[in-house]
Structure 1
Amino acid sequence: MNIKQIHIFIFLLIPTLFMAQSVNQLDKNGKRDGVWKKNFDNTNIVRYEGTFLHGKEIGLFKFYKSINKTAVLTATKQFNEKDNLAEVTYYASNGKVISKGIMNGKDNIGEWTIYHNSSTQVMTLEHYNNQGQLDGESMVYYSDGQLAEKRHFIKNKVQGKAIWYYENGNEMKIYHYENGLLHGEAKFYLAEGALEIEGQYKNDQKDGIWKYYKDGELSDEKDYTRYSKNPYNKKD
C-alpha cells in the first residue's frame, strides 16, 4: 500500500470511527443522547434502535425480536419532541401489520386498530381514554368486513346495549350491561332471524321469567327469580 492509498484509507475510516463512537452516548447529565442501538444479551442481534434528545425518545424507534439468530422487526414507535405520545405499529414475523394506534408511555389512548391475521381487513376497532382504559365504542368485524360485535365501554366496563351479529348480518344476541354486569333485557336469535330465547338479567344473573321459542311459537318458560335473589345459588 503506497502513501496515497494510506491517506485514502484513513480518510474513509475516520467517518466510520466517528459514527461508531457517537452511538450510545450520554449527555453531561448522564442521559441518553443521540443515536442508540442495543443488542440482545451476548449477541450481535439488534434489539432496538432510535434517537434520544437528552433522555427523551424522538423520531422513529424500531424494535426487534430474534428469530433463528436474525433480527425481525416487531414494532415501530414514532416519537416527537413535544410530549410522550407515540404512533405505534406492531408487526407479525412476515412483516404484516398486526395493530396500530397511539400510546402515552405504556398506555393505549385514542383509537386502536387490530387486523385479521390472514388479511388487511380490520378485525377490531377500539377506543381508549387518556388513562389507558377502554372508553367508547368497540367494534369487531368478520374477515369479510361484516360487523360481528358492537359494545360500548366506560372506563374499562361494558355499559348499555351490546349486540352480536351472524355473518349474514342478522342479530345473534342482544345484552344490556350496567357497570360491566349483565343487567336488563337479553334476546337470542337464530341465524335466519327468528327469536329463540328472551329474558332478563339482574346483577349478572338470570332473573324472572325466561321464554324459549321453537318455530316461532312459545315452547317453554323458566322462572329464575329465586336464583337472582340468592347470590350463592347461581344458575345459567
Structure 2
Amino acid sequence: MELVNIVSFIMKANKYIIFITTILIVNYSAFAQEVDISNLFEKDDYLICSKKTKEPFTGIMFCKNSDGKIEYKKTVVDGIENGKALFYDKSGNFAGDGEYFNGLENGKWTWYYKSGFKKAIGYYKDGISNGHWTYWSESGIKEREGNIINGKENGKWEYYSEMGLITTERYYNYGLKDSVEIWYFENGQKMSIHRYESGIENGKFEGWFRNGKKKFESYYRKGEIINYTEWDQDGKIIKSQNKE
C-alpha cells in the first residue's frame, strides 16, 4: 500500500510540474510571435528566417505532425534557437523540455512518459551531453544514474531494481568499462565482482552464493581467461581450468 501511495504522489507531483511548465510557455507565447515552421526557411548560414520578410526570425516556431498535433515549440532569437523548447509525442502529450544556446542544446533537459512520470533528466553543453544523468522506469522508479562527459559515460554509474535497490555499480572511462563492476543480491550482499581495463576483461573475477560462500573465481588478462575455478554450495570444486 505504501508503494502505491508513493507512486500516486509522484505522479501528481510530476503532472503539477508539467502544468507549471506549460503555463510558463503559454504566458511567454502571449507576448511572442508564434509561427509555423512551414512559414520559415533556413539560410546557408543556418539562420532561421521568415519567408514573408526574408529577415532573421524572432519568436516561437512550432512544427505539427500529419495529424495536426504540435511536435515542438522552440524559442528563436535573431534567427538562432535561443531559449526554451518544448516537445510533444505523436498524441500531443507533453514529452520534454530544455533550452538552446546559440542553436545548441544547453543546460538541463527533462523528458517525460505519457503518465507524467519523468523519463530522464540530463545536462548538455554546446550540444553534447555533459553532466549528471538520471533515468526512471514508466512506474516512476529510478533505473540508473551517473555522469557523462562529452557524450560518453564516465566514472561511477549505479543501476537499480524496481524496488529501488542497487543491483549494479559500474565504472566507465569515456564510454568503456574500466576498473570494477559490482553486482548485488537484493539484500545488498555482493553477488560478483568483475574487473575491466579500457572495456576489456582484465584481472580477477569473483562470485558468491547467497550464503556468502565463494561460487567462482577466475583471472583474465587482456580479455583472455587464464584460469577458472567453480565451487558448489558445499565448497566442493566442480570445475577448474588453467591455461598456464
* TM-score exceeds 0.5: yes
TM-score by structure 1 length? 0.75
Distance in 2 separating the partners of 1:101 and 1:128: 9
Would you identify which runs of 4 or more consecutive aligned residues in structure 1 move more than 4 Å?
Answer: 18-22, 27-30, 80-84
The answer on 1:37 being equivalent to 2:62 is yes
TM-aligned CA deviation for residue 199 of structure 1: 1.2
Q: 1:173 is matched by which residue type in structure 2?
A: S
Larger radius of gyration: 1
| 5+ long unaligned stretches in structure 1 | 1-17, 227-236
Q: 2:172 pairs with 140, 144, 153, which one?
A: 153
Of 171-180 and 25-34, deviating more is 25-34
5 Å matches for 1:18-167?
23-24=35-36, 26=49, 30-41=55-66, 43-67=67-91, 71-79=92-100, 84-104=105-125, 106-119=127-140, 121-129=141-149, 131-167=150-186
Q: Which residue of 2 aligns with 1:199?
A: 218
Q: 2:241 is matched by which residue type in structure 1?
A: D
**SS, match of residue 163 in structure 2:** coil
| 2:81 and 2:103 in contact (8 A); partners too | no
Q: Which residue of 2 aligns with 1:5?
A: none
TM-score by structure 2 length? 0.73
Q: Deviations over 1:19-59 (max 9, x none)?
A: 89752563677544211111114x42111112111233233
User: RCO higher in 1 or 2 (8 Å CA, sep ≥ 6)?
Assistant: 2
Percent identical: 19
Distance in 2 separating the partners of 1:19 and 1:224: 74
| 1:170 and 1:192 in contact (8 A); partners too | no
Root-mean-square deviation (CA), in Å?
2.7
State the number of aligned residues.
202
Distance in 2 separating the partners of 1:194 and 1:92: 42
| 2:98 and 2:105 in contact (8 A); partners too | no
Distance in 1 separating the partners of 2:75 and 2:103: 15
Distance in 1 separating the partners of 2:189 and 2:62: 52
